A and B are shown apart, each in its own frame.
Chain A
């Protein structure tokens, strides 16, 4: 069973749905969501840090700390906090969706 996500929407939900894949799992988001929002709402985390493999879930949300990197299927790196979701987008984290 997917772990209960920590983040929660507080309104503004009358938006078109957008479908993406995170680590191969189908995720439904709303138009205007960032990739990080989509990941956080689905209990996921972003890439593990390079040193002690602790998972990350963003920190600053303003494109400054760089702890929210994800990768697209053509190996392009994205900052999840300032990339908007797009229909059919495929992203990969290294966290394998475990844990939270």
Chain B
């Protein structure tokens, strides 16, 4: 008999759930590790059990998909070793380091499927360290899983599909939306139309959200520049100063959510030495989700930001690759389904290209010309001046050097929320393309470990 060895999936979002579902179909029993208390990942995040809101209320147009996936995963719970509330904080070949309800443990694997998803990509606005500023994802989590708005009125700034979606969701809940400031221009949007047309329903949904906000009287600005977050002397934010290139205005707010699309959570694949695609900062996988490192597979937003549907096809493709590598025979029906998945995946990559064009991040020059006192690294309180001085005086071309010299990116979030800015500053200073500068290197622990005085 062949032994399949231990199969471990990290992440119980759509990618990890689909991977598990497919493996279980073939009689395998994967271990699924997830930081969350409930399966679902980001988009299909489940509220605490005590909430009794309907799927429709929480997930809107995605309600049916959410319910199907939750039900399917719940149905296999006894067939898998599912470990919620557990974080993988370090890894090396063949072994993961976990921190969960049983304390700190280790876990060996023969096959590892990383489905670690994404977090918000954020850039600094002067004054954004004041309480009352949140990531866009944070504002959505408050809404979806806590039935809470972080402020009323609340404003939204950034670029990306989530900007419009989250603003629109707040509107649906009757929250006053003080404004949506999109840093991308209408021209960016129009130029991306050919790619966006690859998924017309999704594109149409986005347009409808923008229109609904505008129709409800929400001030919607394209090509806006956030100038500063204003705050009381004792802390909380009071408003956003913004410019549209011609004039500067200030809008009063009680909370602000910001985000420029998403960034992949690639720390584990870095620690496991999965190489990046040359010229692009994303883990290298073949068309089935295999990395060049023996036994490691990747799927979902953790490898490339393609959205929830692609996370599901990616999860199924990775599971198919694992099965093939273990010598399982696929039926012709499975083979047909795999072909369909690959075709769908290609379409979603095209659409994602459109989104990237429609909603570019703020330009590097603009970021590096923000006021010098702007805090770039929220954890270690490192200002733009400090980073600029290092970049200029030391001719720094590497964000890891900047990190060593300024501590930016070394704090509690491990560079998740300043890495993109550091990369932009280096590109502005050196004139080199972002793809040419070395990547932010991950360090274990990738999450700060809790410590107790009575720690074992």
Among B131, B138, B380, which residue has its beta carbon within 8 angstroms of that of A51? B380
The answer to whether A100 and B131 touch across the interface, beta carbons within 8 angstroms, is: yes
A65-B147 contact given A45-B235, A57-B132, CB 8 Å threshold: no
Q: How many residues of A contact B (CB 8 A)?
A: 48
Among residues 42 to 86 in chain A, which have CB atoms less than 8 Å away from a CB atom of chain B? 45, 49-52, 54-67, 74-78, 82, 84
Q: How many residues of B contact A (CB 8 A)?
A: 59
Among residues 437 to 452 in chain B, which have CB atoms less than 8 Å away from a CB atom of chain A? 447-448, 450-452
- Shortest Cβ distance from residue A96 to the other chain B in the assembled complex, whole angstroms: 11
A55-B378 contact given A60-B119, A67-B412, CB 8 Å threshold: no
Asked whether A7 is an interface residue with its Cβ less than 8 Å from the other chain, the reply is yes
- Shortest Cβ distance from residue A14 to the other chain B in the assembled complex, whole angstroms: 7
For residue B173, which residues in chain A have a CB less than 8 angstroms away from its CB? Answer: 10-11
Asked whether B152 is an interface residue with its Cβ less than 8 Å from the other chain, the reply is yes
For residue B232, which residues in chain A have a CB less than 8 angstroms away from its CB? Answer: 99-100
- Shortest Cβ distance from residue B154 to the other chain A in the assembled complex, whole angstroms: 9
Among residues 401 to 417 in chain B, which have CB atoms less than 8 Å away from a CB atom of chain A? 411-413, 416-417
Among A12, A52, A64, which residue has its beta carbon within 8 angstroms of that of B416? A64
Task: Give Cα distance in the complex from A89 to B285, angstroms.
Answer: 46
Asked whether B301 is an interface residue with its Cβ less than 8 Å from the other chain, the reply is no
A84-B381 contact given A60-B134, A65-B416, CB 8 Å threshold: no
The answer to whether B138 and A58 touch across the interface, beta carbons within 8 angstroms, is: yes
- Shortest Cβ distance from residue B259 to the other chain A in the assembled complex, whole angstroms: 10
Task: Give Cα distance in the complex from A51 to B48, angstroms.
Answer: 34
For residue A50, which residues in chain B have a CB less than 8 angstroms away from its CB? Answer: 381
Among B48, B174, B381, which residue has its beta carbon within 8 angstroms of that of A31? B48
For residue B47, which residues in chain A have a CB less than 8 angstroms away from its CB? Answer: 12, 32
A32-B51 contact given A45-B235, A100-B236, CB 8 Å threshold: yes
Nearest opposing residue in chain B for A67, CB measure: B378
For residue B133, which residues in chain A have a CB less than 8 angstroms away from its CB? Answer: 59
The answer to whether A34 and B448 touch across the interface, beta carbons within 8 angstroms, is: no
Task: Give Cα distance in the complex from A82 to B173, angstroms.
Answer: 23
- Shortest Cβ distance from residue A91 to the other chain B in the assembled complex, whole angstroms: 14
Nearest opposing residue in chain A for B380, CB measure: A51
- Shortest Cβ distance from residue B352 to the other chain A in the assembled complex, whole angstroms: 21
The answer to whether A59 and B236 touch across the interface, beta carbons within 8 angstroms, is: no
Task: Give Cα distance in the complex from A37 to B53, angstroms.
Answer: 17
The answer to whether B151 and A6 touch across the interface, beta carbons within 8 angstroms, is: yes
- Shortest Cβ distance from residue B149 to the other chain A in the assembled complex, whole angstroms: 5
- Shortest Cβ distance from residue A48 to the other chain B in the assembled complex, whole angstroms: 9
For residue B143, which residues in chain A have a CB less than 8 angstroms away from its CB? Answer: 10
Q: Write out, one digit per residue, whether chain A residues 1-31 have a CB within 8 A of any chain B CB (1) or not (0).
A: 0000011111111111000000000000011
Task: Give Cα distance in the complex from A100 to B255, angstroms.
Answer: 12
The answer to whether B413 and A64 touch across the interface, beta carbons within 8 angstroms, is: yes
Asked whether B52 is an interface residue with its Cβ less than 8 Å from the other chain, the reply is yes
Task: Give Cα distance in the complex from A9 to B235, angstroms.
Answer: 22
Among A6, A9, A37, A74, which residue has its beta carbon within 8 angstroms of that of B236? A6
Among B57, B150, B450, which residue has its beta carbon within 8 angstroms of that of A77? B450
The answer to whether A10 and B174 touch across the interface, beta carbons within 8 angstroms, is: yes
Among residues 118 to 177 in chain B, which have CB atoms less than 8 Å away from a CB atom of chain A? 119-120, 129-135, 137-139, 141-143, 146-152, 173-175
Q: Write out, one digit per residue, whether chain A residues 89-100 have a CB within 8 A of any chain B CB (1) or not (0).
A: 000000000111
The answer to whether A63 and B35 touch across the interface, beta carbons within 8 angstroms, is: yes
Asked whether B453 is an interface residue with its Cβ less than 8 Å from the other chain, the reply is yes
Most A CB within 10 A of own CB, among B131, B133, B413, B453: B131
Q: Write out, one digit per residue, whether chain B residues 167-204 have a CB within 8 A of any chain A CB (1) or not (0).
A: 00000011100000000000000000000000000000
12 residue pairs A–B, Cβ–Cβ below 8 Å: A12-B52, A12-B53, A15-B51, A32-B47, A32-B49, A49-B379, A55-B131, A55-B235, A62-B119, A63-B447, A64-B119, A76-B452
Q: Beyond the given A62-B141, A82-B37, please list 13 additional residue pairs across the A-B interface where CB-CB is below 8 A.
A: A8-B175, A10-B175, A12-B147, A32-B47, A33-B146, A37-B148, A40-B148, A50-B381, A57-B132, A59-B134, A65-B412, A99-B236, A100-B236
